[in-house]
């Protein structure tokens, strides 16, 4: 098994639970020990694109260069919560300024481009060997270092009372909850993130995402080959060279590919692995047995 699945995750289940369900669908083909890897998880209350690597494709996740994310979310003004989203308890309630629309328009440029964020306590960041989200359950709060992220685009889609709909294009590692809290604070009131929908995660986009039911109906059709996700050139090796590549040996090349990394296929067009060009030689970097 080697490929990716662009899943649509509804709000409710965790990404791990959804990955386990996907593994059961493909277990009949590859067995119960099928490896599953996520290209960016989603919080339980979030919905949208959840890319999953299956089998040997988990070893290709690091080669995906496009790691930008795109979201649509709601910012709920007037109340902050313990978790930064609608699932938390109220921390502070404030009035909403009468000129909130003008304040939001003025604040948007402050949160576009390179910005610094403090990860929320309810996040998967490691601290002292534990995930941050484990600490509040024990009544512990710790200082968190600021992290640099990039907001490529931040626009208001509409507003209904205290709820503002936003579209965000951002770098990997951006916390939308923190963005909502900080934007509200810049406007002079408390706030938290309401609903969250991920529209894109790197090369995986919402309009191509499949529900778990669609995947179960035709698992083979749902599997996305690596070449559609990672745009590397392909080198085809004959029998002896393919054997040497599989054994981890350098292979001489006659026609040099354009890229540094390449997909390697044997004469039967089976995917052998990923190689790195070193002058006129091809070095094995990931070999699929």
Q: What is the pLDDT of residues 133-179, one digit of tens each?
A: 444 444 545 566 889 999 999 999 999 999 999 999 999 999 999 99
pLDDT of residue 260: 85
Same domain for 33 and 89, yes or no, is no
C-alpha–C-alpha distance, residues 282 and 289, integer Å: 18
Q: Are strands 130-131 and 126-127 parallel, antiparallel or unpaired?
A: antiparallel
pLDDT band of 197, cuts 50, 70, 90: very high
From the candidates 43, 66, 85, 289, which is the catalytic residue?
43
pLDDT of residue 144: 64
Same domain for 116 and 186, yes or no, is yes
Does 193 score more than 80 pLDDT? Answer: yes
The CATH number for 261's domain is 2.30.130.10
Average pLDDT of span 215-241: 91
pLDDT of residue 288: 85
| pTM for the structure as a whole | 0.86
Of 245, 288, 279, 269, nearest in space to 60 by CA? 288
Same domain for 219 and 178, yes or no, is no
Cα 34 to Cα 13, 28, 61, 64, 71, distances in angstroms: 21, 10, 16, 21, 30
Range of the domain at 283: 232-287
- 99 included as an active-site residue: no
The partner residues of 71 in beta bridges, in order of sequence, read 168, 198
pLDDT of residue 146: 86
Average pLDDT of span 182-211: 96
C-alpha–C-alpha distance, residues 234 and 116, integer Å: 39
Does 130 score more than 70 pLDDT? Answer: no
- Provide the 8-state DSSP code for 111: G
Same domain for 38 and 81, yes or no, is no
Same domain for 219 and 259, yes or no, is no
Same domain for 75 and 33, yes or no, is no
pLDDT band of 19, cuts 50, 70, 90: confident
The CATH number for 210's domain is 3.30.2350.10
Same domain for 149 and 177, yes or no, is yes
How many folded domains does the chain comprise?
3
Same domain for 12 and 55, yes or no, is yes
Same domain for 53 and 151, yes or no, is no
C-alpha–C-alpha distance, residues 7 and 137, integer Å: 30
Same domain for 208 and 197, yes or no, is no
CB of 176 closer than 8 Å to CB of 119: no
Same domain for 191 and 106, yes or no, is yes
Q: Are strands 191-201 and 47-55 parallel, antiparallel or unpaired?
A: parallel
Question: How many CB atoms neighbour CB 19 within 10 A?
Answer: 21
Same domain for 197 and 95, yes or no, is yes
């Amino acid at each position: 098994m080697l490929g990716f699945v662009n899943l649509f995750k509804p709000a409710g289940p965790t990404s791990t639970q959804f990955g386990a369900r996907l593994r059961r669908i493909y277990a009949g083909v590859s067995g119960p020990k099928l490896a599953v890897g996520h290209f960016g998880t989603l919080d339980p209350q979030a919905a949208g694109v959840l890319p999953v690597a299956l089998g040997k494709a988990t070893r290709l996740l690091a080669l995906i260069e496009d790691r930008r994310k795109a979201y649509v979310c709601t910012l709920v003004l007037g109340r902050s919560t313990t978790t930064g989203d609608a699932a938390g308890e109220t921390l502070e309630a404030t009035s909403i300024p009468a000129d909130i629309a003008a304040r939001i328009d003025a604040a948007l440029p402050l949160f576009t481009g390179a910005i610094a964020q403090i990860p929320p306590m309810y996040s998967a960041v490691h601290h002292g060997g534990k995930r941050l989200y484990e600490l509040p359950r024990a009544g512990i709060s710790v200082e968190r270092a600021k992290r640099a992220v990039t907001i490529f685009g931040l626009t208001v889609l509409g507003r209904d009372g205290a709820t503002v709909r936003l579209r965000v294009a951002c770098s990997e590692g951006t916390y939308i909850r923190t963005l909502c809290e900080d934007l509200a604070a810049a406007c002079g009131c408390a706030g938290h993130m309401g609903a969250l929908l991920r529209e894109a995660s790197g090369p995986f986009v919402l309009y191509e995402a499949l529900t778990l039911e669609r995947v179960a109906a035709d698992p083979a059709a749902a599997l996305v080959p690596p070449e559609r996700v990672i745009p590397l050139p392909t080198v085809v090796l004959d029998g002896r060279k393919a054997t040497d590549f599989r054994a981890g040996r350098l292979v001489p090349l006659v026609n040099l590919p354009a890229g540094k990394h390449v997909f390697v296929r044997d004469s039967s067009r089976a995917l052998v692995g990923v190689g790195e060009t070193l002058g006129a030689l091809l070095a094995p970097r990931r070999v699929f047995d």
